[in-house]
Structure 1
Amino acid sequence: MAARLRALAPIAVPVIALIALVATYHRTLSVGVAIIVGVVLIAAVLAAVHHAEVVAHKVGEPLGSIVLAVAVTIIEVGLIITLMLGGDGHDTETLARDTAFAAVMITCNGIVGLSLVLGSIRHGLPRFNREGTGAALGVVATLAGLTLVLPAFTVGASGGRFTGAQLAFIAIAAIALYIAFIATQTGRHRDFFLPVNKAGKTIQSDDEHATPPTNRQTAISGVLLAVSLLAVVALGHAVSPTIEHGLESAGIPSTFVGVVIAFIVLLPEGLAASRAAMKNRLQTSLNLAFGSSIASIGLTIPVIAVASIWIEGPLVLGLGPVQIVLLVLTLLVATLTVVPGRSTRLQGVIHLIILAAFVFLSISP
């Protein structure tokens, strides 16, 4: 019975989300209704990623990785843009920055830390490929530095903003870095990103031997993916006033909305990375963590940069001093984690503590 429900959930959830979308369209939601819609929203995110994975398995690599990244990016960008359009401009000008930074902190500390802890508890001293993981971390550091740190110091535009020419250059550079990373991960150096055993030998992924979905299954997943993405973006817009009101009532800064978006969007990756770590596939967990961070910045920021042409108000990308300190600390610790090529519980706990500090300081700056 439970297995049947799990099989039906990816089909039922998009339909339920679509019904919820119609029921809440242009309506003010009570707290109780908003909570129910929020649960449906999270379920729709999980369903969207599931159907993206089905399509990705069918088309293979490198298109598969691109499908997954684009699906997650559509969810993230859609939520950001709907909130920016629905806000008054003052509380939403930093939303893209806050969401991208939160994604980096959650992936590089939360997903990585949890994976290290689970993998170490279950398998003692799990190993991973230093070459591939180090390359991915280098891309994360470069993207974060160019898009989130650099605008805090440029003088062309004040207040942590880029000039139009600077923003265009950074958007192109981010896309170029993302494409270069995907080409490396799925091309000549693909073996750098495959799991390794205790002896450091490459292990082929179990997914490669799984039977690909049929054309009919792929078509159904494609349609349900589109429905899920539409529902996620629309439901996110529906519950956003309740979220913002709740944060205001609790005395939490409005910038915490970006953290909420990042947690929702990255929930599927976190679950998948945890499962991989428990199966002694720590390399897969790190691929998901750093790959999600790269996609979150490398695709989201360029899309938001283009959207800013039509969205009123400034686009602030530069981080503040506290955020820069947390980012530098994260990248430093992540580098020390990657260098040995094996993990311990202590390393995982350090990353989780940094994440806890980020969340606490986001609530109480």
Structure 2
Amino acid sequence: MNRLRWTWIWLPPFAGAASVLLGASIPSLLLGVVLIVTVLAAVHHAELIAHKVGEPFGTFLLALAVTVIEVGLILTLMLQGKAGAETLARDTVFSAVMIILNGLLGAFILLGALRHREQSFQQVGVSASLATLCTLTVLTLVLPNFSSSAGPYYAPSQLAFVAIVSLLLYLTFVTVQTVRHRDYFLPPEEAAADLEAHAPPPGNGETLLSGAILIACLVEVVLLAKALAPAIEDGVASAGLPHAVVGVVIAALVLLPESVAAVRAAMANRLQTSLNLALGSALATIGLTIPAVAVLSLFQGLPLALGLDSRGIVLLSLTLLVTTQSLATARTTVLQGVVHLVIFGVFVFTTLVP
């Protein structure tokens, strides 16, 4: 595996601190450039770690790291108590699921199919991921509308129960993925060999250093996204767009490292790695975010609206149905990629023009 030398001298903590302390005086364009460079560095070090520990641990670690930082960002913004704080978790989780299952999934399936014509993966692992994901999304984003007379709000006891169930379900999935049935999430034997798989893995010292740099890069991605948030909000307001667009943009920025890694894996004919990243990230987003914000809501007495509106429920239902069908044959072509991208386009358009 090619070691990109510049990624070892990139200093994310200093750039991230500068974005917070001097965010108002740093041009947004420069912050955007720094964000892109940081994402590329994060992806490179994540791939080094994955090459060392093997699948599916590498993709799981990246998804977990990004999600933990995303949760921290959501909790911080909720505690600030700004307008729209009660729907922030719902909007972020829903946007992340739609971006992952439609935008990201469609992009890497399409690009992988254009290069390799047809790609394969382990059906049993993907089916387990989708079953867990369908359950989590319905329990957290749909059921609140029908379980109480308070609209999109769970009652405190209901919220606590759903938070516990969501966390237990996610932890069970992680145990199955990494311990009991790890082979379900490995590339199929007939898949084309990855040319980089035979490269010597990094040493222990290099892996530890890559881990430290990866964490610093992921922290910087969130700091930069937070620094860019005021400029994004001003741009959205000046364009007369709905405030929900801000959540979509921030979710997309936070998901950049995983998105780049997933697309690169599919282009290298490692579709299983891409699916592990995408589905694992979606599961972690719900399984960790909802319990965390539920605890904050219960202990701080903050309102938490989780239920989607009718448009969101329709798009989420369509997404889950199509994803289940498009990944039902253990093989993908350009058609599946185009279908998911079309749904993603509908999501973006209806968000911009509600």
- Provide the TM-score with structure 2 as the length reference: 0.88
Asked if structure 2 preserves the Cα contact closer than 8 Å seen for 1:55 and 1:222, the reply is yes
Which amino acid is the alignment partner of residue 6 of structure 2?
Answer: L
Structure-2 residue corresponding to 1:282: 271
CA distance, structure 1, for counterparts of residue 232 and residue 49 of structure 2: 33
Q: After superposition, what is the alpha-carbon deviation per residue over 1:142-162, rounded to whole angstroms, capped at 9, x for unaligned?
A: 11011111112111x613111
Q: CA deviation at 1:210?
A: 4.9
Corresponding position: 1:76 with 2:70: yes
Q: After superposition, what is the alpha-carbon deviation per residue over 1:161-215, rounded to whole angstroms, capped at 9, x for unaligned?
A: 1122222221221222222222222234222222236xxx467877765544334
Q: After superposition, what is the alpha-carbon deviation per residue over 1:267-307, rounded to whole angstroms, capped at 9, x for unaligned?
A: 22222222222222222222221111111111122122223
Structure-2 residue corresponding to 1:305: 294
Equivalent pairs counted in the alignment come to 353
Structure-2 residue corresponding to 1:169: 161
- The equivalences for 1:6-25 within 5 A come to 6-18=4-16, 20-21=18-19, 23-24=21-22
Structure-2 residue corresponding to 1:213: 202
CA distance, structure 2, for counterparts of residue 56 and residue 307 of structure 1: 33
Q: 1:227 to 1:112 in 2, by over 3 A?
A: closer
Asked if structure 2 preserves the Cα contact closer than 8 Å seen for 1:105 and 1:330, the reply is yes
Q: 1:311 to 1:224 in 2, by over 3 A?
A: farther
Identify which range, 59-68 or 119-128, moves more after superposition: 59-68
Identify which range, 60-69 or 115-124, moves more after superposition: 60-69
Q: After superposition, what is the alpha-carbon deviation per residue over 1:21-66, rounded to whole angstroms, capped at 9, x for unaligned?
A: 3641xx644xx71332233234434544554555565566776555
Corresponding position: 1:37 with 2:31: yes
Which amino acid is the alignment partner of residue 110 of structure 2?
Answer: V
Q: 1:167 to 1:206 in 2, by over 3 A?
A: farther
Corresponding position: 1:184 with 2:187: no
Structure-2 residue corresponding to 1:95: 88
Segments of structure 1 that go 5 or more residues without pairing to the other structure are: none
CA distance, structure 2, for counterparts of residue 359 and residue 298 of structure 1: 24
Which amino acid is the alignment partner of residue 320 of structure 1?
Answer: D
Q: After superposition, what is the alpha-carbon deviation per residue over 1:239-293, rounded to whole angstroms, capped at 9, x for unaligned?
A: 3222212111111111222211221122222222222222222222222211111
Structure-2 residue corresponding to 1:355: 344
Asked if structure 1 preserves the Cα contact closer than 8 Å seen for 2:67 and 2:281, the reply is no
- The equivalences for 1:48-67 within 5 A come to 48=42, 50-51=44-45, 54=48, 64=58, 66-67=60-61
Structure-2 residue corresponding to 1:124: 117
Q: CA deviation at 1:122?
A: 1.8
Asked if structure 2 preserves the Cα contact closer than 8 Å seen for 1:76 and 1:261, the reply is no
CA distance, structure 1, for counterparts of residue 307 and residue 195 of structure 2: 41
CA distance, structure 2, for counterparts of residue 355 and residue 17 of structure 1: 32
RMSD: 2.8
**Which of the numbers 320, 330, 333 marks the counterpart of 2:319?**
330
Asked if structure 2 preserves the Cα contact closer than 8 Å seen for 1:48 and 1:71, the reply is no
Structure-1 residue corresponding to 2:129: 136
Q: 1:94 to 1:45 in 2, by over 3 A?
A: farther
Which amino acid is the alignment partner of residue 294 of structure 1?
Answer: L
SS in 2 for 1:120: helix
Identify which range, 216-225 or 346-355, moves more after superposition: 216-225
Q: CA deviation at 1:336?
A: 1.4
Asked if structure 1 preserves the Cα contact closer than 8 Å seen for 2:145 and 2:308, the reply is yes
Structure-2 residue corresponding to 1:150: 143
Asked if structure 1 preserves the Cα contact closer than 8 Å seen for 2:108 and 2:266, the reply is yes
Asked if structure 1 preserves the Cα contact closer than 8 Å seen for 2:120 and 2:191, the reply is no
Which amino acid is the alignment partner of residue 106 of structure 1?
Answer: I
CA distance, structure 1, for counterparts of residue 70 and residue 273 of structure 2: 22
Q: 1:339 to 1:236 in 2, by over 3 A?
A: closer
Segments of structure 2 that go 5 or more residues without pairing to the other structure are: none
Q: After superposition, what is the alpha-carbon deviation per residue over 1:314-347, rounded to whole angstroms, capped at 9, x for unaligned?
A: 1111111001100111111112112222222122
CA distance, structure 2, for counterparts of residue 121 and residue 94 of structure 1: 39
SS in 2 for 1:242: helix
Which amino acid is the alignment partner of residue 282 of structure 1?
Answer: L
Corresponding position: 1:270 with 2:259: yes
Q: After superposition, what is the alpha-carbon deviation per residue over 1:220-246, rounded to whole angstroms, capped at 9, x for unaligned?
A: 334434433443443333332222121
Structure-1 residue corresponding to 2:247: 258
Q: 1:269 to 1:304 in 2, by over 3 A?
A: same
